Structure 1
Amino acid sequence: MFEHVDPFIGTGATDLPPPQGLAAAWWWPKPQVGNTHPGATYPFGMVSACAYSGGYPTGYGRYDFNTEGVPHTIHDRQVASGFTHFQQSGTGAIRKYYNYFRVTPMLHPIDELGRVWPLHDEVASPGYYAATLATGVRSELTVGPKSAVHRYTFPAHEQARIVLDASIGGLPTPRSRTVPLRAFLALVRPGVAQGEIVVEGVPLAVHIEIDAPGWRQSLWYDRRLMPGGTRLDFDYIRPTTLRPFGLIWMGRAKAEQSVEIRLGFSLRGIERAEANLHADLAEAGAPAGTHGGPAFDLRREATRTAWREHLDLIRVDETGLTPERKTTLATAAYHSFIKPSFAPEESPWGTDGPYAFDICTMWDIYRTQLPLLNTLQPSRSADLATVLMAICEQEGNLPIGYRMAKGADRFSRQASALAHTFLADLWARREPGIDWDWALVHLDADLRRTYGEDYLAHGIAHPVTHTLDLAFAYHCTEQIARGVGDDTLADQMHAHSGGWRAAFDPATGLLVDSTFYEGGRWNYSFRLLHDMATRIELAGGQERFVGLLDRFFGVGAPPVRQPGIHPSKEELAAGYALGRFEGLNNEPDLDAPWAYHYAGRPERTAQIVHAAIANQFGVGRGGLPGNDDSGGLSAWYVWATLGLFPVAGQDGFLLGPPAVAQAELARPEGDLLITTEGLRVPEPGGPVSYVRSVQVDGREHAGTWLPGRAARRAQHIHLELGDEPSSWGRRTRPPSHSS
């Protein structure tokens, strides 16, 4: 897949062909932009590096802050004022946006620092980004797990400069700037510098080595050089009086002269930052130390190898796939492997072992991206579980979101208790490395906090979607408690796991009146609960439930018009009144197409999923229908292409028609081969492939569901497909757990 990846997908406003067929009836109001960046990344690595324009939300690109419709541009072309480190991937309004330690190659006086220059000849591949600034400096970036290496190729110039700004952070958009609270910088020896900034309460240290023999180096403050100074300290920085500060290297550049700058990072001090840089260089086979020889190409190749290994975990037969579809799938896999950012031994609390940040947010990734991680790299998931519990010990709650910052993110309106779902799937695998008794202490305590208090006191919590979250979390915790032999706790959990019923109005078959986070009652009414049989009964039975789903997905409805730039209140109100599927643009809708399975209508799922694959994902900067959300959206595409959908927290997979003729997943327990017969590759307005029969390891499989244990044992799933709906899945139903 490596050769097909295009990191530019999702960096621009959605620009897909007009949807055809069923997809034309969907309406999505959330930001129509992927919010990804094309910068250099390492698989699940700590560090990324990218051109910095100040654009929302990654620091890259042309866009202003937006929450609905097509984003407004703040730049008429791709520009950059330099190159920063640590970027979000596909997220929206989280208000904290990193972009620390901006490095700018300059042919101008330092007074010009902060000016943006047009970017030309941009190129990106996994682990590599390059562009030429309008000044003529070719700029290339690559990263290791905890480091970044820049290479700048200058035109001939008497006063070339490389300027590092340690004061910059976040974005220049309102309320999005990050100001260091404390900082220091020090010149260690020629070509070597170190420093640390305390941002969002966390100390971020950097060790810098530059390969520029004969160039002068200096500290600078408020765009003025500090000749002779070797250290700059700020014990306390007031945001209102902040002046920029940093480091500069200056010298004569010959035509086509390349200068490398290597940066190691740590949350545990400058000594570890230096060690991290040298470890990353050694792992790549590059010499450490100033003037030790070029490291860029070696580090780039080592990162390319790491990306190939990750992308090779998913292998597909490309027969029948257009070049565009190959690129779409490969890039979706790539985006699924960027976050969270794992930084082992980097916990700012001083504890050793796993550490991770950019869990942004559980609401975005728990249905799709984390199950992909569980399937392909469960040991990494176990590390993440350990991190979640460590955060809980430090902050008092299992986080809904967590960044490189002191304090867990407060996305309290978004969701409740989603870590319970993630941990339940890990428990089902019996994944080693987790203290499950200690985990139960946190899982139990977390259910009584924030909205959990209302749930226990009143039997319902508002926003009412939290009632669904909490009831399901009780169910997940019950499974873990029962498994470790704590039947008393399991019985207590079971007693509260049925509270989801209070969230639904039998008169409408939908959720009761409430407020809703980024959506309405229709968006949230069709999530996959642990007792779908009772859910369907509360809706008035199977026929009425299917009718509600058909209305939600616009079956037989006319095409609708999507919101544009700055949609009016009236336009949005009319759209929300449709109560329509938001077409993968909104997280609560991600699992809704599979609700048909529980009503014996898997052919409807096939129609919707194939319509989404064909109409809502493409190539180019505008190839995503909405925010990629740390890979949550891209992971949905990967699962849909495979013909599988993980039911998060219930340890199983729903089956459907794949979008490729053959695929293979490399799993720790053995490879899983998925083959088809009679596939029609999804195309806009084209026919849908329906499942006629399924064989698992050569045996007929009647159900539309594959339990997790059976899935992990399976080596070969074969699906016979046809152009017309069949009786497959009409009589069987995925399991429902009585509550």
Structure 2
Amino acid sequence: MAVLPLAALAQTAAPDLTQKADPFVGVDGGGVTGGNTVPGAGVPFGFVSLSPDTTNADTNGYDSKSPIMGFSYTHVSGTGGSGKYGNFRVTPTVGPLKLNHLHFGKTGERASPGYYSVGLGNSDAERIQVELTASRRVGFQRLTYPAVADSQLIFDVSSVVAMRGRGQRVRLAKVELIDDHTLAGEVTVEGGWNPAPYTLYFHAVVDRPAKAFGAWKAGQGAFEAKPGVGRSEGGSQVKSPANRQGLMIEYDTEREFSNRLGAYLTFDTTTRRQVQMKLAVSFVSAAKARANLAEEMPGWDFDGYRQAARAQWADALAKIQVEGGTDEQQRIFYSALYRAHTMPHDLSGENVWWTSDEPHYEDFYTLWDTFRTLHPLLTVIQPQRQRDMLRSLIDTYKHTGWMPDARIAGANGMTQGGSNGDVLVADAVVKKLGGFDQALAYEAIRKNGEVDTDQPFLQGRVLKDYLKLGYVPFTETRSASRTLEYAYDDYAIGVVAKALGKTDDAKRYLARAGNWKNLWDDKLGCVRPRYPNGEWVENYSCTYEYPDRSGPWWDAPFYEGNSLQYSTYVPQDVAGLMAKAGGREGFVAWLDQLFDGHYSQGNEPDILAPYLYIHAGRPDRTDEIVRQLMAKHYHATRTGLPGNDDAGAMSSWYVWNALGLYPNAGQPYYYIASPVFARGVIALEGGKSFVVEAPATSDANRYVTAASLNGKPLDRAWITHDELAKGGVLTLTMGSKPSAWATTFVAPPNGQ
């Protein structure tokens, strides 16, 4: 009998799942819009995202085809809109100091969780090997230059993800050259996904003295250097009042956007070719950035810090271990699970906005995207993270007066629809997550349901007409989609009220959850906007896509979608929706119409729709559709996502579906559908695990024909959260044709 060595046994028991996660998946456009993921180095939920910036990038700062300008320390992943961050870009070059048109080709680009490397340069003679790794608030670069007398390290303190100048702009940048290997600085930036300015600080050190160093200022095609120690400021890109009022908003008549400020270090790499540089960031001060550096990366062992980052990712990816499926499906899965651990960013210890001992997270970008799939996933596999995120949101309410739907860099971002923090709180309450102040959380979400917002784009809801009419009228923007979202937010508030024993509140909010019916047009079979007097909006189609080019993006009756898509969003009352759509058979036909060319996997409003067939006793249609969607829209490639990943929302959708489960956020159950893996083991809190087994699953065997839970037959296409949280085994029998399994629908517990 052969005996495996201990190392081989360990490798068999705990495979290195980081090898299956590819940070390049989704960086480019595969659908209507790009995945906009970030390929650079970071750690789970870390703020520093040290990644290349390219000349034709979207909000992620990167695209595969265009030249690299340098490597900045802060990014958001998978987002649309006007972007944020891209701060403190560092560019290594060779030869005389030149600061304009820093466009460089790349070779040998590689990335894995916590690590990125590339050969940077426009010729072999000038190529620099760049390696990046990171911790939560520190980025580390290891640079191997060619053997030349002048190797440059150029710091752009005023850098941002540019978006053609339509997004962020620098108000003021400052830099201090402290000595020949140390510098610090700050930048204040306005614009992007929210208009509020933010100030970010840095402290940087290199591992050897520079032979020359100093500050620089640059404008359109020109720069001036200021050698030696000292302080400099400048780089303001804010448009003048006259320019702000100009009609050509993308044209800077005074060339403001070209204004930049930075620093340079020059090294002789003739014999000693390697230079290492660490840069820490802080929202508090440059001194706090220096303290962060001392805390997180006191030494110069690049490979050690790289392995530490990799170990954090290995731990995160090991929360779910799968067997079976194809190699590509496993790579898609672990790349998706990787991206589900990127945002929001853990900025505990960096809360400069108020004094609090609570955990602090920023860059909820946005809950409208992530409440549906990402946060329910974190509740299961990262429950303490989810508790801390909830505590941060509740603490934000305590100190600002509102629980945000979006928050970036210390201020609220754009609110796309409802107050979706309501759903996060309800999800935590009905799943007994615990570990947060439920009374204060209820106070926050009840305000969302009672108090008309003072800033409609940034917080709360537009309630005046909604409370009076039972719907948001066409005189408000996004009136129909807001009505649908407000109704479910009301349901969430009602569920929490009931759990806390607030009976009168519960009755009132659960009644308001039926407001979606006030916009249902029985003749058209979809939700239709109404005027305040009750009349329908004219010249209307259920399948017309909004927004169009006839008005501003935010002013359409639906936010990013058509009525048929949004009309499926009644998760609190699928039975009522089915009745409106013509009963069981009519409902199936109505859903079939949606999936006949009108469904969008590239955005969130209708991503629950495949599971609504289960309510009509047709789990086979759910199985068919989710398999088709996974196969069509998800690939282990740079264009492998259906659209913006939206901070992990679309990736977590794949994680759930590939396992054969799917949440209805805010309610304590999970639908069962068609897993692509023969076995998936979900690590739960307290050392327990929940296993989904489907030994016969394949592309042909995509139908669940029978099920058992812990050995007992299960004739329903859902399990409760309690059943999952206790740990156990869900065994699914798979076949090539549908069976009678779960064709008689039994309603799951819904939190009421």
Larger CA deviation: 191-200 vs 632-641: 191-200
In the TM superposition, residue 62 of structure 1 has moved relative to its aligned partner by: 4.1
Contact 2:182 2:205 in 1 (8 A): yes
Instruction: Determine the C-alpha separation between the residues in 2 that align with 1:528 and 1:699.
Output: 32
Q: Which residue of 2 aligns with 1:569?
A: none
Return the TM-score normalized by structure 1.
0.86
Question: How far, CA to CA, are the matches of 2:429 and 2:513 in structure 1?
Answer: 18
Distance 1:631 1:524 in 2: 21
Q: State the Cα distance separating 1:350 from its structure 2 match.
A: 3.3
- Show CA shifts across 1:76-118 (max 9, x none): x34111111211211112x133100010111143334442111
| Match of residue 171, structure 1, among 156, 162, 168 | 162
The answer for the alignment partner of 1:453 in structure 2 is: 464
Q: Hey, what does 1:717 align to over in structure 2?
A: 730
1:498 pairs with one of 506, 514, 525: 514
Contact 1:531–1:738 (Cα < 8 Å) also in 2: no
Aligned Cα root-mean-square deviation (Å): 2.1
**In the alignment, is residue 146 of structure 1 matched against residue 163 of structure 2?**
no
Q: Is the aligned partner of 1:10 residue 2:26?
A: yes
Structure 2 unmatched ranges of 5 or more: 1-16, 191-196, 241-255, 453-460, 474-478, 530-536, 538-556
For 1:301 and 1:521, how far apart are their aligned partners in 2?
Answer: 49
Q: 1:540 to 1:322 in 2, by over 3 A?
A: closer
Question: How many Å separate the matches in 1 of 2:697 and 2:23?
Answer: 29
Q: Distance in 2 between matches of 1:327 and 1:2?
A: 10
Question: Residues 622 and 397 from structure 1, CA distance in 2 versus in 1: closer, same or farther, beyond 3 angstroms?
Answer: same
Alignment pair present for 1:190 and 2:206: no
Distance 1:394 1:153 in 2: 47
8 A Cα contact 1:533 1:736, kept in partner = no
- Give the C-alpha shift of residue 199 in structure 1: 2.3
Instruction: Tell me the equivalent position of 1:311.
Output: 317
What is the 5 A alignment of 1:461-500?
Answer: 461-462=472-473, 463-500=479-516
CA gap 1:496/1:277 in 2 versus in 1, 3 angstroms = same
Q: Quote the residue 1:392 is aligned against.
A: 397
Structure 2 vs 1, CA of residues 469 and 520 (structure 1 numbering), >3 Å: closer, same or farther?
same
User: What is the DSSP-based 3-state SS (H/G/I as helix, E as strand, rest coil) of the residue aligned with 2:641?
Assistant: coil
Cα distance in structure 1, aligned partners of 2:589 and 2:60: 44
Q: Is residue 367 from structure 1 mapped to residue 378 from structure 2 by the alignment?
A: no
In structure 1, what is the equivalent of residue 307 of structure 2? Answer: 301
Q: Distance in 1 between matches of 2:274 and 2:591?
A: 60
Shift of 1:533: 1.1
Q: Specify the code of the residue in structure 2 equivalent to 1:671.
A: S
Question: 2:695 matched to 1:695?
Answer: no
Residue equivalent to 2:339: 335
Which segment is superposed worse, 361-370 or 631-640? 361-370
SS at match of 1:501: helix
Q: Is the 8 A contact 1:697 1:714 kept in 2?
A: no
Partner of 2:59: 58
8 Å contact from structure 1 (residues 203, 269) kept in 2: no
Identity of aligned residues (%): 29
Matches within 5 A, 1:225-374: 225-233=225-233, 238-239=238-239, 241=256, 243-254=259-270, 257-282=273-298, 287=299, 294-317=300-323, 319=324, 321-352=325-356, 353-374=358-379
Write out aligned runs for 1:471-620 (5 A).
471-513=487-529, 515-554=557-596, 580-582=598-600, 584-620=601-637
Give the number of equivalent residue pairs.
664
SS where residue 276 of structure 2 aligns?
strand
- CA separation of 1:280/1:45 partners in 2, compared to 1, >3 Å: closer, same or farther? same
Equivalent-residue separation in structure 2 for 1:693 and 1:172 (angstroms): 51
Of 111, 123, 136, 2:127 maps to 136
Conservation of the 8 A alpha-carbon contact between 2:488 and 2:570: no
Q: Distance in 2 between matches of 1:525 and 1:688?
A: 31
- The residue type equivalent to 1:656 in the other structure is A
* Aligned position for 1:731: 744
Between the two structures, name the one with larger relative contact order (CA 8 Å, sep ≥ 6): 1
2:35 is aligned to 34
Structure 1 partner of 2:211 = 215
| C-alpha distance in structure 2 between counterparts of 1:61 and 1:275, whole Å | 30
For residues 646 and 272 of structure 2, the distance between their equivalents in structure 1, rounded to whole angstroms, comes to 39
Deviation track 1:54-93 (CA, whole Å, cap 9, x = no partner) reads: 4332354448xxxxxxxxxxxxx34111111211211112
Q: Using the alignment, how far apart are the partners of 1:132 and 1:209 within structure 2?
A: 23
1: CA distance between counterparts of 2:751 and 2:78?
37
Give distance in 1, aligned partners of 2:580 and 2:750.
15
- Pairwise mapping of residues 644-659 of structure 1 onto structure 2 (< 5 A)? 644-659=661-676
Q: CA deviation at 1:220?
A: 2.0
Deviation at 1:516, TM superposition (A): 1.3
2:106 and 2:189 mapped to 1: Cα distance?
29
What SS class does the counterpart of residue 296 from structure 2 fall into?
A: helix
Q: Assess, with a 3 A threshold, how the Cα gap between structure 1 residues 172 and 529 changes in structure 2: closer, same or farther.
A: closer
Amino acid of the structure 1 residue aligned with 2:396:
I
Deviation at 1:161, TM superposition (A): 0.9
CA distance 1:490–1:712, shift in 2 (3 Å):
same
Name the CA distance, whole Å, in 1 between partners of 2:442 and 2:584: 36
Q: Residue 139 of structure 2 contacts residue 279 of structure 2 at CA under 8 Å; is this kept in 1? A: yes
Task: Give CA-to-partner distance per residue, 1:115-168, whole Å, 9 cap, x none.
Answer: 211111100001111111123111111110111001111001111110111011
| In structure 1, distance between residues paired with 2:667 and 2:720 | 9
Distance 1:445 1:358 in 2: 22
Question: Once the 2 structures are TM-superposed, how far is the Cα of residue 256 of structure 1 from its aligned partner?
Answer: 6.6
**Which range is displaced more, 191-200 or 718-727?**
191-200
Q: TM-score, normalised by structure 2?
A: 0.85
Distance 1:154 1:731, change over 3 A: same
Distance in 1 of aligned mates of 2:731 and 2:133: 41
